[in-house]
Amino acid sequence: MIYNRCGRSGLKLPAISLGLWHNFGHVDDFETARKILFTAFDAGITHFDLANNYGPPPGSAEENFGKIMKQDLKAWRDEMIISTKAGYLMWDGPYGEWGSRKYLLASLDQSLKRMQLDYVDIFYSHRPDPDTPLEETMSALDQAVRSGKALYAGISNYNPDQTIETSRILRELGTPCLIHQPKYSLLVRWVEKSLLDVLENEGIGCIAFSPLAQGLLTDKYIKGIPKDSRAAKPHGFLRRDEVTAEVISKVKKLNELAKKRGQSLAQMALAWLLKDPRVTSVLIGTRTVEQLQDNLGTMENLDFTTEELEKIEMVIK
């Protein structure tokens, strides 16, 4: 594993981080989840990303992670970076989602309880709230850090203008924004327009979520939708109708380019993101230990020739 500095902070993150959005809920196999976490940590993945609502049911990924932390990983807490978030719907009534101080701080307390932790390393505002002043949302992140319940503050799904404003407010509060978590992959490239430049200017790290486009950027959908895949599951966020002929045609071409590099498509997709020094880490999900091992193989070839990059660009532009 290599560890990249997160923006202009003192914190380094592994080039590959593991997210627990899918595959770690009560609907999933606990022993597999445990094995995935051990394999990841043994391979140098020190960063584990959660959110209040991960499951299903919501909260169950944090509960399962908490169990594994307590049973198995507690002794290594100081070697781990654990993040959680609040922003999406978590409980009934007017205080169970978005960006109020009331919701964010209550949610963080609930997350700590579920994970049986004293603190998280990073606490995120999971999405911007159009109806709450940014100052209020950011002051809640600042308080989370000042109270010792989080060590750093982060944002996710904020656009470039919101990011600049957030960064200013947090800097003034004395809790600089550590990291931004946007969706970014060979198939979803909005961050390249201006977000990455903003992050570099502001000294904020970037951790790219769904770097495999939820599994589309692997060879698994080339011959249809496999039974056990995310697109086939009722609770999977990848819908069947997102596996289109147009996407699969691109995936097939990318798969051929990956083969020529001696890599799997998943490995090429992750390496392609990591070639940009503004990307601190790629935040993968995995359902099996084998998928994780495939993704870890990315580290064996991170370099691209100009010709390879041009060929990839022709496919995805």
Query: Can you give the binding site for ligand NAP, defined by CB under 6 A?
Result: 19-23, 49, 126, 156-157, 181, 209-215, 218, 220, 229-230, 266, 283-287, 291, 294-295
By beta-carbon proximity to ligand NAP, the closer residue of 111 and 229 is: 229
Q: How far is the CB of 297 from ligand NAP (least distance, A)?
A: 9
By beta-carbon proximity to ligand NAP, the closer residue of 34 and 126 is: 126
By beta-carbon proximity to ligand NAP, the closer residue of 26 and 305 is: 26
By beta-carbon proximity to ligand NAP, the closer residue of 25 and 176 is: 25
What CA–CA distance (Å, rounded) separates 170 from 177? Answer: 6
Q: How far is the CB of 40 from ligand NAP (least distance, A)?
A: 12
Q: How far is the CB of 157 from ligand NAP (least distance, A)?
A: 5
Q: How far is the CB of 246 from ligand NAP (least distance, A)?
A: 18
By beta-carbon proximity to ligand NAP, the closer residue of 146 and 262 is: 262
Q: How far is the CB of 263 from ligand NAP (least distance, A)?
A: 11
Whether 240 contacts 225, CB under 8 Å: yes
Q: How far is the CB of 159 from ligand NAP (least distance, A)?
A: 13
Q: How far is the CB of 307 from ligand NAP (least distance, A)?
A: 25
Q: How far is the CB of 172 from ligand NAP (least distance, A)?
A: 25
Residue 219 dihedral angles phi and psi, to the nearest 5°: -90, 5
By beta-carbon proximity to ligand NAP, the closer residue of 244 and 310 is: 244
Distance spanning both ends of the chain, measured CA to CA: 30
Whether 315 contacts 255, CB under 8 Å: no
Query: Which tokens go with 195?
Result: 């977000």
By beta-carbon proximity to ligand NAP, the closer residue of 22 and 174 is: 22
By beta-carbon proximity to ligand NAP, the closer residue of 156 and 174 is: 156
Query: Which candidate, 209, 181, 65, 87, places its Cα nearest to that of 141?
Result: 87
What CA–CA distance (Å, rounded) separates 253 from 223? Answer: 14
Cα 162 to chain centroid distance, Å, stands at 19
At 113, which amino acid appears?
Answer: K
